A and B are shown apart, each in its own frame.
Chain A
Amino acid sequence: MDDAVIRTEKLTKRYGKQTAVSEVSLEVPPGKIFALMGRNGAGKSSLIRMLLGLTPITAGRATVLGLDSAKQHVAIRGRVGYVPEAHHMYRWMTIAEVVRFTASFYPTWNEKSCADLIRKFDLDPSKRIKELSRGMVAKVALTLALAHEPRLLVLDEPTDGLDAVVRKEFLESIVSVAADEGRTVFISSHLLQDIERVADRVALMEESRIGLVEDADALKARFRELKITFTDLPAGSGGAPLAFDMPGILSLRKEPREWLMVFEKFGAETREQIQSKLPGAQIVARDMTLEEIFLALVGKPAIESTGPRSPASVEAGRSETEDEGKRA
């Protein structure tokens, strides 16, 4: 018996000569909130679309709830709650009409659950879609995805475009109405602070491949950011040492009197080793957010010596990546 809710084997998607997803092998355990992280254009949406049979699979295999994504995609969509990246419901329909229309396709549609969700999200069924705010439309989409009581909820960038308040509210809704009922949630986002709030397990997708798959807590425990302050400069260097290397360093940002270092598998022994190499330096270790870990993992080059990386340069790099992704 296959326990995994989602399983992929070397799943690949190509658009012409561009590879959007490359040999992704993945297992999503039941009852977890599984977060797929990655920049825009990394291949997250393509992966989800393949899982749900919305786009043909180029190579490999995928099963969702034990059903083959390539052949049984209609059945998969009937058992999975899916909230796409953008909500393109019929603007001329009222909420009641959208609900009634969508309910027709789900034999497991639960009218009471739907009514509860509408009440919970404070939706007015008589309002037309075009009269709703983006946050309300997102809630309608979540209602439609949950009302047929799916075992698996797939959310593709569900909070994209929402303001911070609505995002928080939306994610709380997911946790309360989805995860609390023992459903599996597969969520993809590039907004890592959102994922960090809810994810049990995370996967990092970069350049069409899965980089890592790990429990969120373990991942956060594995990485530390060290702030090394040189109150007394090392002897004979005239400043901070020019070269420094140790196993486990993911990134190192140097400033004249302060280094910021991301370290993998940081422990007491590591601290002692650093201290021995940098006598007199003051070392402060702190926990990292998923976003910081993500940036450390994918933000190449790992070691910068020209000073701190400004937020603007980080954003610029991201934009370039987005553009490449869209072209692909």
Chain B
Amino acid sequence: MQAIQSIENAAMQVPRRRSPFRALLWKEWRQQRWIFLSLAGLAYALLVAAATVVWPDRYKVIFENARNDWAGLLACCAAFFAICSIVVLSANAFSGERDDNTDLFLETIPCSRSKLFRVKLGFVLLLALLELIPVGTALLVYIGRQPSVRLEGLAGAAGLTVLTLAATVLVLVTVPAMIASFGGSVIATILASMPVIVACFAYLSLAVQLTRFLPLRSVMMAGILAALFVALLLATALLAAWRMWIRVERTWRHSLRMAAALAGLLVVYLAVPLAGAYLYVTLFAPLSFFLSSAGGFVGAWNPPLSPGGKCVTFDTYYSGWGRCTRAACLDVDSGRTRWLTLLRNSFVWPLSGIWSHSGNQFVLEENGQWLWPLARETANHIMLTYSVVNARSGEKRSFSELCPGLPQMPSDVLPLVGWYSDQVFAFQNGRDMFFADIENHEVRQCKMPAVFPSARLGNAFQLPITRRGIFVMPEDVSAKGEVSVLRYAPDLPEAECLTLRGIGGEQPNIEASEDGQWLLLHVSWLEKDRRQRSWYLAQLADGAKATLLVCAEGREKSAIPSSWQVKNFLPGGHQILLYRDAEVGLFDADSRDLRRIPMTQASSRQIVAVALSPAGGFALVQCDNPATSGKPGAISRYVIVDVHNGTSLAVDEATHEWWQNLRWLGEDHLLSEENGKMPWTMNRDGTGARPLLAE
């Protein structure tokens, strides 16, 4: 009687009913919990071990400074186990019922296969996220912390990280679900899923690779198309898995049809945006204007000016939703602005680049080099470069990818040196120089002499490019009192070495006349805790010989009085511009004559800087303003000097009270900029001041 009573009590003690959703979730958890806890526990243990290696002091930021590769190895193991456990969980959720025959019980309850699929999928996704979010984030943080690894588009962008995570989870969960629908066992599902998952990741990596290639790259980098792409893949995978799962019976014909449809869709997903983007940037570029965001500001820090002063390139930056930058070219005369549409969503801020000699083309750098013919609104990708650094050895390997149809460059070419001529680019890879002809796609290599086995070119940006070649002083090869200068030229298989003896000072910097006959060497040295500066002039002769001709400061025999500061060569000649105190002079290297330029309206104050006009006819002299001299925040005064007849004219501050950072804009105009505000321009005589861009 007591037994019957206890049975009755037990029967009546059945707890209140749950919703079908909760009941199914409860069942899944009871079925999967030990697998999940054991595998996830292993992943977390590895992660903790990785953290312990790099995080002995518990209050330091995790992975901030990776001690060594053990951390990376352990973190990779953690990620590996997390990935494996997700596959196992998914296979077990979708195939395990068949192994136990409980699917026959499950199908008898009034619950659609669609709901079962949703619950199982949601459950596995939840567990997968529980595993992957910390492990994946830690791994991404670790990778992102590696010095010199260019992951600003990955680790720095939370959106892209989420996309990566979503794509990974999507593949790991849905592939076993699809395989399971064929009715295999858990083991068979896991084994069959492996190659399919590898294929999926290969597909995703192919998609990523394609984004590095024109024309998808710029739009993909913005994240919008990438997000759409991943969302499309997500929807397709979910739909395919759902369709396969809810189908009770299947024939081989149906399976093949489904596989073919999936493969076709995946191909279409890549082909359509690729074709669309190609058409967009080649035919329908103005579409971007309809999509452009309002607002933003102009980035006008030192905007590149075309040689003739006809154009100014600048960039705009919009920091709101859909943060983007755009490169633009402003025609000074017409005021018309042309936007570079290809790089619309790329990060080209602040803009840097080099105009061609004719002013018809512009090379800009934005994660690689781009050639922008001013007649068009799109740029050609010259090459994309990236580098990877081995964290342990410090070894750096550089790679580049070129677009077809453009000069094929060696794979380790890195920085752009500049325009050698109007159609020949110069690149360097640390030792050798490459001259790429953009017309006939011919590339010529000029090597560094073998006598300098360990020499490097260093930061070779803005080297003196002359008609005789490009002059470079390689690092760490000059002995005391002498300087080695290399002349790279397209017609030389090996750079010509010139040795200049009798050079004092350190950190020499060189300039050259346009014809490459004269070199100007700026040197400095430390004397009584003050850095002293001086300069040398050297005449170059054929046959790789150089003659040190002039030395300033009286340390060597010199034809020029000391204390003259040198500026640079006048364009097309051998005259150099000098200034000291309140004087400006021209020194002719050939005749060794120094001609002082009388300054009719110049300030008697100290001259602090001089800039020559592009054609060399005028000098822009910056000097102390007598009206404000000595006051805090004193404004310099600008004087325009005709270098041929000495006529000088002070720029009237009244026209624009905050003129500063004046630069030449062609021969007839000046450009004023202030902390990135919109540039103003005025005529050479100081009149006609106006903003270049309308507000």
Interface residues in chain A, defined as those with a beta carbon under 8 Å from any beta carbon in chain B:
15-16, 52, 54-56, 74-78, 82, 84, 86-92, 96, 99-106, 109, 111, 114-115, 118-119, 122-126
Contacts and interface: CB of A to CB of B under 8 A. Distances in A.
B104 A109 contact: no
Nearest to A148: B110
A124 B112 contact: no
B22 interface: yes
Contacts of A78: 110
Given A118-B11, A125-B7, 7 more contacts: A74-B110, A84-B108, A104-B20, A111-B12, A118-B7, A123-B7, A125-B11
Contacts of B251: 16
A104 B104 CA distance: 18
Contacts of B263: none
A74 B115 CA distance: 11
A124 B111 contact: no
Nearest to A83: B108
A131 to B, nearest CB: 15
Given A74-B110, A96-B14, A101-B27, A86 B7 contact: no
A88 B18 CA distance: 22
A125 to B, nearest CB: 4
B19 to A, nearest CB: 6
B11 A101 contact: no
A110 to B, nearest CB: 11
Interface in B289-341: none
Nearest to A96: B14
B14 A111 contact: yes
A84 B104 CA distance: 8
B20 A86 contact: no
Contacts of B107: 54
Nearest to B19: A104
A105 B248 contact: no
For the complex, would chain A's binding face be called helix, strand, loop or mixed by DSSP majority?
loop
Given A99-B14, A115-B12, A82 B108 contact: yes
A23 to B, nearest CB: 20
Nearest to B251: A16
Nearest to A104: B23
B272 interface: no
A90 B99 CA distance: 12
Given A105-B20, A115-B11, A90 B105 contact: yes
B30 interface: yes
B695 interface: no
Given A104-B18, A105-B110, A56 B23 contact: no
B102 A115 contact: no
Contacts of B256: none
B73 to A, nearest CB: 38
B152 interface: no
B245 to A, nearest CB: 15
Contacts of B23: 100-101, 104-105
Nearest to B4: A119
Contacts of A75: 110
B10 A96 contact: yes
A125 B14 contact: yes
Given A55-B248, A88-B104, A90-B27, A104 B17 contact: yes
Contacts of A15: 249
A124 B10 contact: yes
B527 interface: no
B102 A89 contact: yes
Contacts of B109: 77, 102, 105
A86 B7 CA distance: 26
A114 B13 CA distance: 12
Interface string B75-95: 000000000000000000000
B462 to A, nearest CB: 74
B393 interface: no
Given A78-B110, A82-B108, A101-B23, A114 B14 contact: yes
Counting chain A CB atoms within 10 Å of each CB, the highest count among B4, B10, B12 belongs to B10
Contact of A119 (B8, B26, B30, B112): B8
7 contacts: A16-B251, A55-B249, A77-B108, A86-B101, A118-B7, A124-B10, A125-B11
A123 B27 CA distance: 22
Interface in B30-48: 30-31
Nearest to A78: B110
Nearest to A117: B11
Contacts of B31: 90, 92
A99 B11 CA distance: 9
Interface in B45-82: none
A86 B102 CA distance: 10
Contacts of A52: 108
Contacts of B14: 96, 99-100, 103, 111, 114-115, 125
B110 A100 contact: no
Interface string B214-251: 00000000000000000000000000000000001101
B102 A88 contact: yes
Contacts of A96: 10-11, 13-14
B15 interface: yes
B104 A86 contact: yes
Give 6 nearest A-B pairs by CB, closest first.
Answer: A78-B110, A104-B23, A77-B110, A88-B101, A115-B11, A125-B10
A88 B7 contact: no
